[in-house]
Amino acid sequence: MALDRFGRNIHYLRISLTDHCNLRCVYCMSENMTFRPTAEMMQDDELITLMQLFARLGFEKYRLTGGEPTVRQNVVELVQRMSAVEGVKSLSMTTNGVLLNKLAQPLKNAGLERVNISLDTLDRQRFHQITRRDQFDRVWEGILASEDAGLSPIKINTVVVRGINDEDVADLAGLTFEHPWQVRFIEMMPFAGATDLQLSQTVKDSEILAWIEKKYGAIELLDNGHLDGEARVYRIPGAKGKVGLISSVSLPFCSACTRARLTADGKLRLCLLREKEVDLLTPLRQGASVEDLRLLVVNGIWSKPWGHGLADGVVPLNRTMSEIGG
Ligand code: SAM
């Protein structure tokens, strides 16, 4: 078991498979983003070695992310190897969905259980404006392909950016009438790269909720407000699916945090919104023993920060969200 000094049992690892992405969302990275060379990234065998180490420490829940995880070479074979690591109980992915029309079924066959698909609007032109790519149709096909492949439950992730997709919130929530999906609205967080936009255009969860209720009437809070992962979950009366609110900024859930992150270049990131990291790839490449690596992880987890410092104006600037693995 990997405990931190506050007694939290950390057993959920988000692994970034790459910092590369096939979209350029305006709130995430610049059009001219430069990516790290492949040689600096964890290679497949290195990733499996580190995953085995985490699994032996009691990490049982894994989410693959990026960058865009589906653009990693041989992603299906890699997922197959990862799902076979002893101790892995749950393997899911956060993806923009662009490649899922082809990859959903192979990924499911390889052992992937679920996908969270990012979609900030149902309007094709606005999608192009937000992502700087004309790929709405591909993403929609990808969502449907994931459903057909049995990647369930499907969760849709929407980052709400004032002045850009406010008008889309209610329509996206309305998808839950037809589909048993969880549509989750995420408060935008500040990182390097697009910090000005991220700090000035944030929309708080109370406002998001008000926009949904304005269109559909009062919505029902489920599970007494207990979090499903990081989301507070609601249902619009009569809907098949659910609406989730992820209020990382206005209502942080740090006390319930069970997660750590492994960046594509092999750093153990202890909190999404703090810069502190432990390098695992360099020692691994220098021949560190399994015990040396285990100690690095155990001591790193022990020193995990309590939570983010956004309320005190502390913004992590050493990496963009896409370089950390959202
Ligand atoms: N490419 C994949 C995707 O689009 O889902 C995985 C990586 S992406 C960084 C993961 C999630 O982070 C996406 O839902 C994205 O919209 C969200 N995201 C990016 N920048 C963010 C920010 N500043 N605040 C909150 N969420 C952000």
CA 260 to chain centroid: 12
What pLDDT shows up at residue 194?
85
Residue nearest to atom 19 of ligand 1 (CA): 28
Q: How many whole angstroms separate alpha carbon 317 and alpha carbon 80?
A: 34
Convert the pLDDT of each residue in 204-236 to its tens digit.
999 999 999 999 999 999 999 999 999 999 999
Q: Is the CB of 198 under 6 A from ligand 1?
A: yes
Locate tokens 């060379």: which residue? 37
Atom 23, ligand 1: which residue's CA is nearest? Answer: 189
Residue 250 C-alpha to ligand 1 middle, in angstroms? 18
Ligand 1 contacts CB of residue 324 (under 6 A)? no
Predicted confidence at residue 198, as pLDDT, reads 87
| Residue 16 CA to ligand 1 centre (angstroms) | 12
| Cβ of 188 less than 6 Å from ligand 1 | yes
Nearest protein Cα to ligand 1, atom 10: 326
Choose one of 24, 26, 27 to mutate for the ligand 1 pocket test, by most ligand atoms within 8 angstroms of C-beta: 27
Question: CB of 19 closer than 6 A to ligand 1?
Answer: no
Query: What is the structure's pLDDT at 326?
Result: 79
CA of 288 to the centre of ligand 1 (A): 33
* pLDDT at residue 292, rounded to an integer: 98
Pairwise CA distance, residues 19 & 73, whole Å = 13
Instruction: Give the ranges where 39-87 is alpha helix by DSSP (H).
Output: 44-56, 75-83
Check residue 312 and give its pLDDT: 87
CB of residue 191 inside a 6 A radius of ligand 1: yes
Residues in the chain with pLDDT values less than 50: none
- Maximum C-alpha span of the chain: 60
φ, ψ (nearest 5 deg) of residue 210: -65, -40
Give the closest residue to 59 by CA, choosing from 83, 81, 90.
Answer: 90
Q: Is the CB–ligand 1 distance for residue 95 below 6 Å?
A: yes
Helix 100-110 × helix 136-149 angle, to 10°: 30
